[in-house]
Amino acid sequence: MYVGSLRAPPGVDLVAILNASSPYLARYGGHAGAAGCSIEEAKMQEACQTLQLNTGELHHEIVSPFLRIDSVLDPGKITLDTIREIESLRPF
């Protein structure tokens, strides 16, 4: 059994993709932006082909990498405590 965790950029509906591929999935669930699935080893090739077909029509602009900046931090204001706080957020 193979188990996967999926994430998608805005505009991609993972549940719709997984629904269309459901005959080859042992289990799946989640929401548009994040989901998970399990695939039996015997169905892996068919599942991969179907998932590729169901994602093949996505527009390049939707799946292109993007960067969202939440805020800007002045490097002069970084302290050891700041670094410790960031490290406590692992994994990132």
Tracing tokens 């695939």 back to the chain, one arrives at: 39
Tens-place pLDDT, residues 14-66: 999 999 899 999 999 999 889 999 999 999 999 988 888 877 666 555 556 67
pLDDT for 90 beyond 80: yes
- pLDDT at res. 12: 84
Give the chain's domains with CATH numbers.
2-66 (3.10.310.30)
* Under 8 Å between Cβ of 54 and 17: yes
pTM score:
0.59
Distances in Å between the Cα of 75 and the Cα atoms of 30, 70, 72, 79, 83 are 38, 16, 9, 9, 11
**Residues 42, 39: Cα–Cα separation, whole Å:** 8
Q: Over range 67-91, report the average pLDDT.
A: 90
pLDDT one-digit tens code per residue, 54-75: 776 665 555 566 778 888 889 9
